[in-house]
């Protein structure tokens, strides 16, 4: 196979000869093989003859939307782009037909090159519109998928965030950069988010993903509290509160000994922020947590910032795994030392099992 056959292939479908020729010259100079068609019928023939990586079609052509819908049957990994000066309704129809992006006329060749680069980078994976996801949710998704990606945020707060292999490495917002920019971007409640390939690496953030994100949320929370006045929680976050028993500790200890030796369970009082350990450490000193991990407080703050209606949150921070479980308005924290991948997988299974046990136990005592 020669080197030319390895080039990505773009098919431009437009009834304007000058558009087809300018696109061809511009993209060939950037290492993309280009085929041209002046109608949907001609495009169908080319699609049937050889694989196409990116299809760019003028939405003003008769049958353009149908072409967008049927092109993946010929080339399953094809990515679709549209050209249009049409109404918002027509643009919506193009996106529903599978278009990754619709470019406005008159066409900017630089914008086209950026869209083609995005399309080639998105050969695998889904694309589309999501709603009711916070920025924290999106960042966690890219982190768990170990993605290298550049995010553009538009709306009330505008800025950029970069991830490298799932770790946060850069953030910019207005005149801010690094942790301060990330904190400000996390204030976003509504807006528009676009992902793009990461082409220029800048490092303004460093450290594990969980630490960077939690530090930004903590800084955001502190600034919010300063604006609201004195902190009502005071210094009692890790105090031992006097509160009625709502879980049978004997049964809980028996469950831990049988299903999760070495792990610990705490309760969190949302009203005061107090944390109380329910189990008694000492049975497994080589694997258990002697004190209350500070990451319990971080995980709780993260959960509250992300979505106050949360019911279960899991976080691995360094060598400690923390899970928060909310059952009937009661909040439990479950934590253990993570000493390898096998223990981490076990931790996730333990959390699911404990959640089920607590749900039945608390409801039976209600």
| Predicted pLDDT at 53 | 95
- pLDDT digit string (tens) for 185-199? 988 877 788 888 888
| Predicted pLDDT at 237 | 41
Question: How many Å apart are CA 188 and CA 62, to the nearest integer?
Answer: 41
Segment 77-106 shows an average pLDDT of 86
| Predicted pLDDT at 193 | 84
| Predicted pLDDT at 347 | 87
For CATH 3.30.450, the residue range(s) in the chain are 249-365
Residue 246 pLDDT > 70: no
* Mean pLDDT across the chain: 83
Pick the CATH number of 249-365 from 1.10.3210, 3.30.70, 3.30.450, 1.10.1200: 3.30.450
| Predicted pLDDT at 239 | 44
Percentage, residues of the chain above pLDDT 90: 32
CB 269 within 8 A of CB 243: yes
CB 145 within 8 A of CB 129: no
| Predicted pLDDT at 231 | 47
- CA distances for 140 relative to 205, 220, 241, 308, 322, angstroms: 16, 18, 33, 17, 16
Question: Which of 125-139, 192-206, 307-321: highest mean pLDDT?
Answer: 192-206
Residue 265 pLDDT > 70: yes
Residue 83 pLDDT > 60: yes
Q: Where is average pLDDT lowest: 63-67, 73-77, 185-189?
A: 185-189
Residue 150 pLDDT > 90: yes
| Predicted pLDDT at 282 | 66
pTM above 0.75, yes or no: no
Q: Output DSSP code: residue 90.
A: H
Q: Which residues pair with 164 in a beta bridge?
A: 167
| Predicted pLDDT at 103 | 92
Question: How many Å apart are CA 36 and CA 23, to the nearest integer?
Answer: 9
Question: Which of 55-64, 317-326, 337-346: highest mean pLDDT?
Answer: 55-64
Coarse DSSP helix, strand, coil percentages of the chain, rounded to the nearest 5 percent = 40, 25, 35
Superfamily of domain 3-121: Response regulator (3.40.50.2300)
Residue 227 pLDDT > 70: no
Residue 38 pLDDT > 90: yes
Residue 240 pLDDT > 50: no
| Predicted pLDDT at 26 | 95
Residue 281 pLDDT > 90: no
Q: With b meaning 16 or more CB within 10 Å and e meaning fewer, what string describes 148-161? A: bbbbebeeebebbb
Phi, psi of 313 (to 5 degrees): -135, 135
| Predicted pLDDT at 365 | 65
- pLDDT digit string (tens) for 151-207? 999 877 899 999 999 999 999 998 999 999 999 998 887 778 888 888 888 999 988
What number of helices (H) and strands (E) belong to the chain? 11, 15
């Amino acid at each position: 196979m020669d080197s030319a056959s390895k080039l990505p292939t773009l098919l431009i479908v437009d009834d304007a000869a000058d558009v087809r020729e300018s696109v061809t010259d511009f993209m060939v100079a950037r290492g993309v093989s280009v085929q041209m068609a002046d109608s949907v019928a001609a495009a169908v023939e080319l699609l049937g003859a050889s694989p196409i990586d990116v299809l760019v079609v003028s939405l003003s052509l008769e049958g353009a939307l149908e072409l967008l819908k049927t092109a993946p049957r010929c080339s399953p990994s094809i990515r679709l782009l549209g050209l249009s000066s049409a109404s918002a309704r027509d643009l919506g129809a193009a996106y529903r037909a599978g278009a990754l992006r619709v470019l406005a006329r008159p066409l900017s060749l630089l914008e086209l090159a950026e869209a083609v680069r995005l399309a080639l980078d998105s050969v695998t994976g889904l694309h589309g519109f999501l709603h009711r996801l916070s920025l924290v949710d999106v960042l966690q998704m890219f982190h768990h998928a170990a993605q290298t990606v550049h995010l553009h945020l538009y709306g009330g707060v505008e800025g950029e965030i970069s991830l490298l292999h799932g770790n946060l490495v850069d953030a910019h917002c207005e005149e801010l950069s690094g942790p301060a920019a990330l904190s400000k971007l996390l204030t976003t409640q509504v807006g528009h988010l676009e992902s793009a390939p990461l082409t220029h690496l800048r490092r303004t953030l460093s450290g594990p993903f969980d630490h960077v994100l939690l530090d930004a949320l903590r800084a955001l929370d502190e600034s919010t509290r300063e604006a609201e006045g004195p902190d009502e929680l005071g210094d009692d976050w890790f105090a031992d509160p006097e509160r009625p028993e709502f879980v049978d500790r004997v049964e809980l200890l028996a469950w831990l000994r049988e299903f999760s030796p070495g792990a610990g369970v705490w309760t969190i009082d949302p009203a005061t922020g107090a944390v109380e350990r329910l189990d008694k450490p000492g049975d497994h000193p080589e694997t258990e947590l002697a004190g209350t991990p500070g990451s319990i407080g971080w995980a709780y703050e993260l959960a509250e910032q992300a979505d106050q209606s949360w019911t279960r949150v899991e976080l691995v921070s360094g060598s400690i795994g923390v899970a928060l479980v909310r059952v009937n308005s009661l909040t439990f924290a479950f934590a253990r030392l993570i000493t390898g991948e096998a223990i981490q997988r076990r931790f996730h299974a333990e959390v699911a099992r404990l959640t089920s046990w607590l749900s039945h136990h608390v409801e039976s005592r209600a």
